[in-house]
Structure 1
Amino acid sequence: EQRKGRLAGLKVAIVGDILHSRVARSDVYAMTKLGMEVRLAGPKTLLPRFFAFEGVTVHESIDAAISGADVVNVLRIQLERQQAGLFPSTREYARVFGINDDRLRLAAEDVLILHPGPQNKGLEISSAVTYSERSAIHDQVQNGVAIRMALLDLTLNGGANS
Protein backbone atom coordinates (compact mmCIF):
# COMPACT_ATOMS: atom_id res chain seq x y z
CA GLU A 1 0.00 0.00 0.00
CA GLN A 2 2.92 2.30 0.77
CA ARG A 3 4.22 2.10 -2.80
CA LYS A 4 1.04 1.24 -4.74
CA GLY A 5 -1.48 3.43 -2.90
CA ARG A 6 -4.02 0.60 -2.70
CA LEU A 7 -4.25 -3.12 -2.06
CA ALA A 8 -7.63 -4.18 -3.42
CA GLY A 9 -7.46 -5.12 -7.07
CA LEU A 10 -3.69 -5.55 -7.24
CA LYS A 11 -2.45 -8.48 -9.32
CA VAL A 12 0.18 -10.35 -7.31
CA ALA A 13 2.35 -13.17 -8.66
CA ILE A 14 3.95 -15.40 -6.04
CA VAL A 15 6.65 -17.45 -7.72
CA GLY A 16 9.01 -20.20 -6.63
CA ASP A 17 8.73 -22.98 -4.09
CA ILE A 18 5.05 -22.65 -3.23
CA LEU A 19 4.79 -26.21 -1.93
CA HIS A 20 7.18 -25.77 1.01
CA SER A 21 6.59 -22.08 1.73
CA ARG A 22 4.83 -20.85 4.84
CA VAL A 23 5.18 -17.35 3.37
CA ALA A 24 3.10 -18.32 0.33
CA ARG A 25 0.27 -19.77 2.41
CA SER A 26 0.16 -16.76 4.73
CA ASP A 27 0.39 -14.28 1.86
CA VAL A 28 -2.34 -15.99 -0.15
CA TYR A 29 -4.68 -15.95 2.82
CA ALA A 30 -4.06 -12.27 3.64
CA MET A 31 -3.94 -11.04 0.06
CA THR A 32 -7.19 -12.66 -1.00
CA LYS A 33 -8.89 -11.28 2.13
CA LEU A 34 -7.68 -7.82 1.08
CA GLY A 35 -9.14 -8.19 -2.43
CA MET A 36 -5.98 -8.95 -4.40
CA GLU A 37 -5.83 -11.30 -7.36
CA VAL A 38 -3.13 -13.89 -6.59
CA ARG A 39 -1.28 -15.98 -9.15
CA LEU A 40 1.00 -18.81 -8.07
CA ALA A 41 3.74 -20.16 -10.32
CA GLY A 42 6.71 -22.46 -10.15
CA PRO A 43 7.94 -25.83 -11.28
CA LYS A 44 5.16 -28.42 -11.24
CA THR A 45 7.05 -30.32 -8.52
CA LEU A 46 7.00 -27.23 -6.28
CA LEU A 47 3.31 -26.38 -6.69
CA PRO A 48 0.63 -27.72 -4.36
CA ARG A 49 -1.75 -30.16 -6.01
CA PHE A 50 -4.77 -28.35 -4.65
CA PHE A 51 -4.96 -24.71 -3.68
CA ALA A 52 -8.58 -23.88 -3.00
CA PHE A 53 -8.77 -20.15 -2.44
CA GLU A 54 -11.12 -17.86 -4.30
CA GLY A 55 -9.11 -15.30 -6.25
CA VAL A 56 -6.09 -17.62 -6.72
CA THR A 57 -4.90 -19.17 -9.97
CA VAL A 58 -2.03 -21.65 -10.29
CA HIS A 59 0.31 -21.51 -13.29
CA GLU A 60 3.16 -23.73 -14.40
CA SER A 61 4.40 -20.83 -16.54
CA ILE A 62 6.14 -17.95 -14.77
CA ASP A 63 5.48 -15.76 -17.82
CA ALA A 64 1.72 -16.34 -17.58
CA ALA A 65 1.73 -15.58 -13.86
CA ILE A 66 3.70 -12.34 -14.05
CA SER A 67 1.99 -11.00 -17.18
CA GLY A 68 0.49 -7.67 -16.11
CA ALA A 69 1.35 -8.28 -12.44
CA ASP A 70 1.56 -5.25 -10.16
CA VAL A 71 3.64 -7.14 -7.60
CA VAL A 72 5.96 -10.13 -7.96
CA ASN A 73 6.83 -11.89 -4.71
CA VAL A 74 9.77 -14.20 -5.37
CA LEU A 75 10.13 -17.08 -2.91
CA ARG A 76 13.38 -18.72 -1.83
CA ILE A 77 14.21 -22.06 -3.36
CA GLN A 78 14.93 -24.31 -0.41
CA LEU A 79 18.16 -25.85 -1.68
CA GLU A 80 18.19 -28.25 1.27
CA ARG A 81 15.27 -29.98 -0.46
CA GLN A 82 17.04 -30.14 -3.83
CA GLN A 83 18.40 -33.60 -3.07
CA ALA A 84 14.81 -34.78 -3.56
CA GLY A 85 15.21 -33.94 -7.28
CA LEU A 86 12.38 -31.40 -7.36
CA PHE A 87 13.92 -29.66 -10.39
CA PRO A 88 16.79 -30.61 -12.72
CA SER A 89 19.45 -28.11 -11.57
CA THR A 90 19.83 -24.63 -10.13
CA ARG A 91 21.07 -23.41 -13.54
CA GLU A 92 17.93 -24.78 -15.20
CA TYR A 93 15.71 -23.28 -12.49
CA ALA A 94 17.28 -19.82 -12.95
CA ARG A 95 16.85 -20.07 -16.73
CA VAL A 96 13.22 -21.24 -16.71
CA PHE A 97 11.82 -19.68 -13.53
CA GLY A 98 14.26 -16.95 -12.46
CA ILE A 99 13.07 -13.35 -12.33
CA ASN A 100 15.20 -11.01 -14.43
CA ASP A 101 14.80 -7.78 -16.37
CA ASP A 102 13.79 -9.55 -19.58
CA ARG A 103 11.03 -11.52 -17.87
CA LEU A 104 9.76 -8.45 -16.00
CA ARG A 105 8.91 -6.78 -19.31
CA LEU A 106 5.73 -8.87 -19.10
CA ALA A 107 4.73 -7.35 -15.75
CA ALA A 108 3.16 -3.95 -15.14
CA GLU A 109 5.52 -1.09 -15.92
CA ASP A 110 5.65 -0.08 -12.25
CA VAL A 111 5.92 -3.65 -10.91
CA LEU A 112 7.05 -4.01 -7.29
CA ILE A 113 9.47 -6.83 -6.48
CA LEU A 114 9.40 -8.59 -3.09
CA HIS A 115 11.42 -11.47 -1.62
CA PRO A 116 10.96 -12.70 1.96
CA GLY A 117 14.62 -13.78 2.18
CA PRO A 118 17.06 -15.14 2.52
CA GLN A 119 17.91 -15.09 -1.16
CA ASN A 120 19.99 -17.55 -3.10
CA LYS A 121 21.84 -14.86 -5.03
CA GLY A 122 21.24 -15.09 -8.77
CA LEU A 123 18.98 -18.14 -8.51
CA GLU A 124 15.42 -16.98 -7.86
CA ILE A 125 16.03 -13.38 -8.86
CA SER A 126 18.85 -11.61 -10.70
CA SER A 127 21.07 -9.16 -8.84
CA ALA A 128 20.04 -6.44 -11.30
CA VAL A 129 16.39 -6.86 -10.26
CA THR A 130 17.21 -7.21 -6.54
CA TYR A 131 18.98 -3.83 -6.51
CA SER A 132 16.68 -2.02 -8.94
CA GLU A 133 14.24 0.80 -8.16
CA ARG A 134 11.40 -1.72 -8.53
CA SER A 135 12.67 -3.77 -5.61
CA ALA A 136 11.26 -3.31 -2.10
CA ILE A 137 13.43 -6.10 -0.69
CA HIS A 138 15.61 -3.74 1.37
CA ASP A 139 12.45 -2.13 2.81
CA GLN A 140 11.13 -5.59 3.71
CA VAL A 141 14.30 -6.33 5.68
CA GLN A 142 14.17 -3.01 7.53
CA ASN A 143 10.46 -3.32 8.32
CA GLY A 144 10.90 -6.93 9.40
CA VAL A 145 13.42 -5.93 12.08
CA ALA A 146 11.08 -3.24 13.43
CA ILE A 147 8.11 -5.64 13.45
CA ARG A 148 10.08 -8.33 15.31
CA MET A 149 11.26 -5.78 17.88
CA ALA A 150 7.68 -4.60 18.44
CA LEU A 151 6.40 -8.17 18.79
CA LEU A 152 9.17 -9.01 21.24
CA ASP A 153 8.30 -5.92 23.30
CA LEU A 154 4.62 -6.83 23.21
CA THR A 155 5.38 -10.39 24.29
CA LEU A 156 7.83 -9.53 27.08
CA ASN A 157 6.42 -6.23 28.32
CA GLY A 158 2.83 -6.19 27.17
CA GLY A 159 3.71 -3.36 24.81
CA ALA A 160 4.57 -0.95 27.65
CA ASN A 161 7.52 0.44 25.65
CA SER A 162 5.48 1.07 22.50
Structure 2
Amino acid sequence: MKNFISVDQLTEADIFQVLERAEYYAKKAIKLRQNRIFVANLFFEPSTRTKMSFTVAEKNLGLEVLDFHSESSSVLKGETLYDTAKTFESIGANMLVIRHRSDEWFKELKNKLQVPVINAGAGKAEHPTQCMLDLLTIYQEFSSFKGLNVVIVGDIKHSRVAKSNVNALRRLGANVFLSTAPGFEDETLDCPYLTIDQAVENCDVVMLLRIQHERHTNVAVTSNYLESYGLTKKRESKMRKNAIIMHPAPINRGIEIDTELVECSRSRIFKQMTNGVYVRMAIIQFLLEEWGITHENNFEKRKTFVAVK
Protein backbone atom coordinates (compact mmCIF):
# COMPACT_ATOMS: atom_id res chain seq x y z
CA MET A 1 0.00 0.00 0.00
CA LYS A 2 1.94 3.00 -1.29
CA ASN A 3 -0.86 5.53 -0.79
CA PHE A 4 -4.15 5.47 1.08
CA ILE A 5 -6.76 6.77 -1.31
CA SER A 6 -9.73 4.44 -0.84
CA VAL A 7 -10.86 1.69 1.51
CA ASP A 8 -11.66 -0.25 -1.66
CA GLN A 9 -7.94 -0.81 -2.19
CA LEU A 10 -7.68 -2.74 1.09
CA THR A 11 -8.27 -6.44 1.48
CA GLU A 12 -10.36 -7.62 4.39
CA ALA A 13 -7.12 -8.69 6.10
CA ASP A 14 -5.69 -5.19 5.56
CA ILE A 15 -8.72 -3.62 7.23
CA PHE A 16 -8.36 -5.77 10.31
CA GLN A 17 -4.61 -5.09 10.46
CA VAL A 18 -5.28 -1.36 10.63
CA LEU A 19 -7.97 -1.84 13.26
CA GLU A 20 -5.62 -3.96 15.38
CA ARG A 21 -2.79 -1.46 15.09
CA ALA A 22 -5.18 1.32 16.11
CA GLU A 23 -6.26 -0.67 19.16
CA TYR A 24 -2.60 -1.15 20.06
CA TYR A 25 -1.90 2.58 19.87
CA ALA A 26 -4.95 3.26 22.03
CA LYS A 27 -3.26 1.34 24.84
CA LYS A 28 0.42 2.26 24.46
CA ALA A 29 2.21 5.55 23.85
CA ILE A 30 4.86 5.20 21.17
CA LYS A 31 7.26 7.22 19.06
CA LEU A 32 8.89 6.00 15.90
CA ARG A 33 12.45 7.29 15.99
CA GLN A 34 14.52 10.36 16.72
CA ASN A 35 15.22 11.26 13.08
CA ARG A 36 12.94 14.02 11.89
CA ILE A 37 10.05 12.96 9.67
CA PHE A 38 7.90 15.74 8.24
CA VAL A 39 4.21 15.42 7.44
CA ALA A 40 2.31 18.18 5.61
CA ASN A 41 -1.42 18.53 6.26
CA LEU A 42 -2.79 20.13 3.10
CA PHE A 43 -6.44 20.94 3.82
CA PHE A 44 -8.17 22.91 1.10
CA GLU A 45 -11.54 22.63 2.86
CA PRO A 46 -12.56 23.52 6.42
CA SER A 47 -11.93 20.80 9.00
CA THR A 48 -11.80 20.45 12.76
CA ARG A 49 -11.90 16.76 13.68
CA THR A 50 -10.03 15.28 10.72
CA LYS A 51 -7.26 17.88 10.63
CA MET A 52 -6.74 18.02 14.37
CA SER A 53 -6.85 14.25 14.84
CA PHE A 54 -4.26 13.86 12.08
CA THR A 55 -2.14 16.45 13.87
CA VAL A 56 -2.44 14.66 17.21
CA ALA A 57 -1.76 11.30 15.53
CA GLU A 58 1.36 12.70 13.89
CA LYS A 59 2.63 14.27 17.10
CA ASN A 60 1.91 11.07 19.04
CA LEU A 61 4.20 9.28 16.59
CA GLY A 62 6.90 11.88 17.10
CA LEU A 63 6.54 13.38 13.63
CA GLU A 64 7.10 17.02 12.66
CA VAL A 65 3.89 18.63 11.37
CA LEU A 66 4.01 21.16 8.53
CA ASP A 67 0.78 23.13 8.70
CA PHE A 68 -0.95 24.76 5.76
CA HIS A 69 -3.76 27.28 5.44
CA SER A 70 -5.17 27.60 1.94
CA GLU A 71 -6.68 31.01 2.67
CA SER A 72 -3.19 32.47 3.24
CA SER A 73 -1.30 30.37 0.71
CA SER A 74 -0.28 30.69 -2.93
CA VAL A 75 -3.54 28.93 -3.85
CA LEU A 76 -5.01 32.44 -3.83
CA LYS A 77 -2.50 33.33 -6.53
CA GLY A 78 -3.62 30.49 -8.76
CA GLU A 79 -1.28 27.71 -7.63
CA THR A 80 -2.54 24.24 -8.53
CA LEU A 81 -2.95 21.33 -6.14
CA TYR A 82 -0.06 19.57 -7.84
CA ASP A 83 2.26 22.56 -7.50
CA THR A 84 1.36 22.93 -3.83
CA ALA A 85 1.96 19.23 -3.19
CA LYS A 86 5.20 19.26 -5.18
CA THR A 87 6.37 22.30 -3.23
CA PHE A 88 5.97 20.50 0.09
CA GLU A 89 7.70 17.41 -1.28
CA SER A 90 10.55 19.58 -2.54
CA ILE A 91 11.14 21.30 0.80
CA GLY A 92 11.34 18.00 2.66
CA ALA A 93 7.87 16.69 3.51
CA ASN A 94 8.00 12.89 3.85
CA MET A 95 4.23 12.45 3.66
CA LEU A 96 1.21 14.47 2.50
CA VAL A 97 -2.26 14.38 4.05
CA ILE A 98 -4.70 16.02 1.63
CA ARG A 99 -8.32 17.15 1.75
CA HIS A 100 -9.72 18.82 -1.35
CA ARG A 101 -13.11 19.81 -2.76
CA SER A 102 -12.57 17.78 -5.93
CA ASP A 103 -13.98 14.24 -6.00
CA GLU A 104 -10.92 13.00 -7.89
CA TRP A 105 -8.10 15.28 -6.76
CA PHE A 106 -5.72 12.35 -6.38
CA LYS A 107 -5.73 11.78 -10.15
CA GLU A 108 -3.90 15.08 -10.55
CA LEU A 109 -1.05 13.68 -8.42
CA LYS A 110 -0.93 10.11 -9.70
CA ASN A 111 2.63 8.92 -10.34
CA LYS A 112 3.97 12.45 -9.92
CA LEU A 113 5.15 12.39 -6.30
CA GLN A 114 7.83 10.41 -4.49
CA VAL A 115 6.18 10.53 -1.05
CA PRO A 116 3.12 8.74 0.36
CA VAL A 117 -0.25 10.50 0.23
CA ILE A 118 -3.26 10.04 2.51
CA ASN A 119 -6.76 10.99 1.38
CA ALA A 120 -8.32 13.07 4.18
CA GLY A 121 -11.46 13.73 2.15
CA ALA A 122 -12.25 13.96 -1.54
CA GLY A 123 -15.23 16.16 -2.37
CA LYS A 124 -18.42 14.10 -2.22
CA ALA A 125 -16.63 10.89 -3.20
CA GLU A 126 -14.60 9.35 -0.39
CA HIS A 127 -13.45 9.78 3.20
CA PRO A 128 -11.46 6.60 3.85
CA THR A 129 -9.91 7.44 7.23
CA GLN A 130 -13.35 8.39 8.60
CA CYS A 131 -14.59 5.05 7.32
CA MET A 132 -11.80 3.21 9.11
CA LEU A 133 -12.50 4.91 12.44
CA ASP A 134 -16.20 4.15 12.00
CA LEU A 135 -15.34 0.49 11.40
CA LEU A 136 -13.20 0.41 14.53
CA THR A 137 -16.00 1.94 16.61
CA ILE A 138 -18.53 -0.61 15.34
CA TYR A 139 -16.11 -3.50 15.80
CA GLN A 140 -15.35 -2.48 19.38
CA GLU A 141 -19.08 -2.58 20.06
CA PHE A 142 -20.13 -5.80 18.32
CA SER A 143 -16.86 -7.75 17.70
CA SER A 144 -18.05 -8.54 14.18
CA PHE A 145 -19.68 -7.00 11.14
CA LYS A 146 -21.40 -10.13 9.87
CA GLY A 147 -25.17 -9.74 9.83
CA LEU A 148 -25.20 -6.32 11.50
CA ASN A 149 -27.92 -3.98 10.31
CA VAL A 150 -26.44 -0.52 9.74
CA VAL A 151 -28.47 2.44 8.52
CA ILE A 152 -26.91 5.66 7.25
CA VAL A 153 -29.32 8.54 7.74
CA GLY A 154 -29.19 12.02 6.25
CA ASP A 155 -27.75 13.83 3.25
CA ILE A 156 -26.64 10.69 1.39
CA LYS A 157 -26.30 12.44 -1.96
CA HIS A 158 -23.53 14.78 -0.85
CA SER A 159 -21.77 12.53 1.65
CA ARG A 160 -18.31 11.07 1.08
CA VAL A 161 -18.69 9.33 4.45
CA ALA A 162 -21.74 7.44 3.21
CA LYS A 163 -20.00 6.27 0.06
CA SER A 164 -16.91 4.98 1.85
CA ASN A 165 -18.90 3.28 4.60
CA VAL A 166 -21.43 1.59 2.33
CA ASN A 167 -18.74 -0.16 0.33
CA ALA A 168 -16.61 -1.21 3.30
CA LEU A 169 -19.46 -2.39 5.53
CA ARG A 170 -21.02 -4.51 2.81
CA ARG A 171 -17.69 -6.14 2.03
CA LEU A 172 -17.35 -7.04 5.71
CA GLY A 173 -20.78 -8.69 5.82
CA ALA A 174 -23.02 -5.98 7.25
CA ASN A 175 -26.50 -5.27 5.90
CA VAL A 176 -26.49 -1.59 4.93
CA PHE A 177 -29.59 0.56 4.58
CA LEU A 178 -30.10 4.22 3.76
CA SER A 179 -32.63 6.71 5.05
CA THR A 180 -33.05 10.28 3.86
CA ALA A 181 -35.36 13.10 2.91
CA PRO A 182 -36.66 13.33 -0.67
CA GLY A 183 -33.99 14.76 -2.95
CA PHE A 184 -31.06 13.58 -0.83
CA GLU A 185 -30.89 10.06 -2.30
CA ASP A 186 -27.81 8.75 -4.09
CA GLU A 187 -28.70 6.53 -7.02
CA THR A 188 -25.12 5.26 -7.30
CA LEU A 189 -25.45 3.37 -4.01
CA ASP A 190 -27.26 0.08 -4.41
CA CYS A 191 -28.81 -0.14 -0.94
CA PRO A 192 -32.44 -0.37 0.17
CA TYR A 193 -34.02 2.73 1.65
CA LEU A 194 -35.95 2.76 4.92
CA THR A 195 -38.01 5.43 6.58
CA ILE A 196 -36.40 6.80 9.71
CA ASP A 197 -39.04 5.02 11.81
CA GLN A 198 -38.29 1.68 10.15
CA ALA A 199 -34.58 2.30 10.56
CA VAL A 200 -34.55 2.92 14.30
CA GLU A 201 -36.61 -0.18 15.03
CA ASN A 202 -34.60 -2.58 12.89
CA CYS A 203 -30.95 -1.49 12.94
CA ASP A 204 -28.01 -2.09 15.27
CA VAL A 205 -26.17 1.05 14.17
CA VAL A 206 -27.80 4.37 13.30
CA MET A 207 -25.17 6.49 11.57
CA LEU A 208 -26.39 10.06 11.15
CA LEU A 209 -25.13 12.62 8.64
CA ARG A 210 -25.54 16.38 8.57
CA ILE A 211 -27.11 18.27 5.70
CA GLN A 212 -24.16 19.61 3.71
CA HIS A 213 -25.45 23.01 2.65
CA GLU A 214 -22.05 23.98 1.24
CA ARG A 215 -22.32 21.26 -1.44
CA HIS A 216 -25.90 22.03 -2.51
CA THR A 217 -26.63 23.87 -5.72
CA ASN A 218 -30.07 24.74 -4.38
CA VAL A 219 -30.94 25.81 -0.85
CA ALA A 220 -32.00 22.78 1.18
CA VAL A 221 -35.02 23.24 3.41
CA THR A 222 -34.32 22.05 6.96
CA SER A 223 -37.36 23.36 8.80
CA ASN A 224 -39.11 20.49 10.59
CA TYR A 225 -36.33 18.14 9.39
CA LEU A 226 -35.80 16.63 12.84
CA GLU A 227 -39.42 15.65 13.30
CA SER A 228 -39.75 14.29 9.79
CA TYR A 229 -36.38 12.66 9.09
CA GLY A 230 -34.09 12.98 12.12
CA LEU A 231 -33.41 11.13 15.36
CA THR A 232 -35.78 12.43 17.99
CA LYS A 233 -35.95 11.23 21.61
CA LYS A 234 -39.16 9.38 20.77
CA ARG A 235 -37.47 7.49 17.94
CA GLU A 236 -34.42 6.75 20.09
CA SER A 237 -36.68 5.08 22.63
CA LYS A 238 -37.71 2.56 19.94
CA MET A 239 -34.17 1.55 19.03
CA ARG A 240 -32.93 -1.95 19.73
CA LYS A 241 -31.60 -2.53 23.25
CA ASN A 242 -27.92 -2.59 22.27
CA ALA A 243 -28.12 -0.32 19.22
CA ILE A 244 -25.73 2.62 19.01
CA ILE A 245 -25.78 6.11 17.53
CA MET A 246 -22.93 7.39 15.37
CA HIS A 247 -22.19 10.65 13.55
CA PRO A 248 -19.02 11.78 11.73
CA ALA A 249 -19.68 15.39 12.84
CA PRO A 250 -19.88 18.33 12.73
CA ILE A 251 -23.30 17.94 14.30
CA ASN A 252 -26.26 20.15 13.50
CA ARG A 253 -27.94 19.84 16.88
CA GLY A 254 -31.69 19.95 16.70
CA ILE A 255 -31.71 19.15 12.98
CA GLU A 256 -30.48 15.60 12.29
CA ILE A 257 -30.41 14.69 16.00
CA ASP A 258 -32.04 15.94 19.18
CA THR A 259 -29.34 17.72 21.15
CA GLU A 260 -30.02 15.60 24.26
CA LEU A 261 -29.06 12.45 22.33
CA VAL A 262 -25.60 13.65 21.28
CA GLU A 263 -24.09 12.41 24.55
CA CYS A 264 -26.69 9.85 25.61
CA SER A 265 -25.71 6.31 26.67
CA ARG A 266 -26.19 5.02 23.11
CA SER A 267 -24.03 7.68 21.51
CA ARG A 268 -20.54 6.80 20.29
CA ILE A 269 -20.02 10.15 18.58
CA PHE A 270 -17.13 11.32 20.71
CA LYS A 271 -15.71 7.79 20.89
CA GLN A 272 -15.47 7.97 17.10
CA MET A 273 -13.34 11.10 17.43
CA THR A 274 -11.03 9.38 19.91
CA ASN A 275 -10.72 6.36 17.63
CA GLY A 276 -9.85 8.68 14.75
CA VAL A 277 -6.49 9.49 16.33
CA TYR A 278 -5.52 5.83 16.70
CA VAL A 279 -6.71 4.81 13.24
CA ARG A 280 -4.78 7.64 11.64
CA MET A 281 -1.67 6.74 13.63
CA ALA A 282 -1.98 3.18 12.31
CA ILE A 283 -2.42 4.28 8.67
CA ILE A 284 0.49 6.72 8.87
CA GLN A 285 2.77 4.09 10.35
CA PHE A 286 1.83 1.44 7.78
CA LEU A 287 2.65 3.85 4.95
CA LEU A 288 5.95 4.96 6.47
CA GLU A 289 6.97 1.32 6.83
CA GLU A 290 5.89 0.51 3.28
CA TRP A 291 8.01 3.35 1.90
CA GLY A 292 10.97 2.40 4.08
CA ILE A 293 10.90 5.79 5.79
CA THR A 294 10.80 4.20 9.24
CA HIS A 295 10.54 0.82 10.88
CA GLU A 296 8.37 0.21 13.90
CA ASN A 297 10.38 -1.84 16.38
CA ASN A 298 8.01 -1.50 19.29
CA PHE A 299 4.87 -2.90 17.70
CA GLU A 300 4.35 -6.50 18.70
CA LYS A 301 3.57 -8.75 15.76
CA ARG A 302 0.35 -10.37 16.88
CA LYS A 303 -2.41 -12.25 15.17
CA THR A 304 -4.86 -9.98 13.41
CA PHE A 305 -8.45 -9.71 14.48
CA VAL A 306 -10.56 -12.66 13.46
CA ALA A 307 -12.60 -11.36 10.55
CA VAL A 308 -15.55 -13.68 11.04
CA LYS A 309 -17.04 -14.42 14.41
Q: How many residues align?
A: 156
Partner of residue 192, structure 2: 57
Q: Tell me, yes or no, if the aligned pair for 2:243 and 2:266 is still in contact at 8 Å.
A: yes
Q: TM-score, normalised by structure 1?
A: 0.84
Q: Tell me, yes or no, if the aligned pair for 1:14 and 1:24 is still in contact at 8 Å.
A: yes
Partner of residue 52, structure 2: none
How far apart are the structure 2 equivalents of 1:85 and 1:28?
A: 26
Partner of residue 76, structure 1: 210
Q: Tell me, yes or no, if the aligned pair for 1:13 and 1:39 is still in contact at 8 Å.
A: yes
Partner of residue 150, structure 2: 12
Query: 1:37 deviation in Å?
Result: 1.1
Partner of residue 22, structure 1: 160
RMSD value, Cα:
2.0
Partner of residue 38, structure 1: 176
Structure 1: unaligned runs, 5 residues or longer: none
Partner of residue 101, structure 1: 233
Query: 1:157 deviation in Å?
Result: 6.2
How far apart are the structure 2 equivalents of 1:98 and 1:157?
A: 43
The alignment partner of 2:203 has SS state of coil
The alignment partner of 1:138 has SS state of helix
Q: TM-score, normalised by structure 2?
A: 0.46
Partner of residue 92, structure 1: 224
Structure scoring higher RCO (CA < 8 A, sep ≥ 6) equals: 2
Distance 1:156 1:35, change over 3 A: closer
Matches within 5 A, 1:124-135: 124-135=256-267
How far apart are the structure 1 equivalents of 2:197 and 2:208?
A: 13
Query: 1:97 deviation in Å?
Result: 1.3
Q: Tell me, yes or no, if the aligned pair for 1:15 and 1:40 is still in contact at 8 Å.
A: yes
Give the percent of matched residue pairs that are identical in Structure 1 and Structure 2: 36
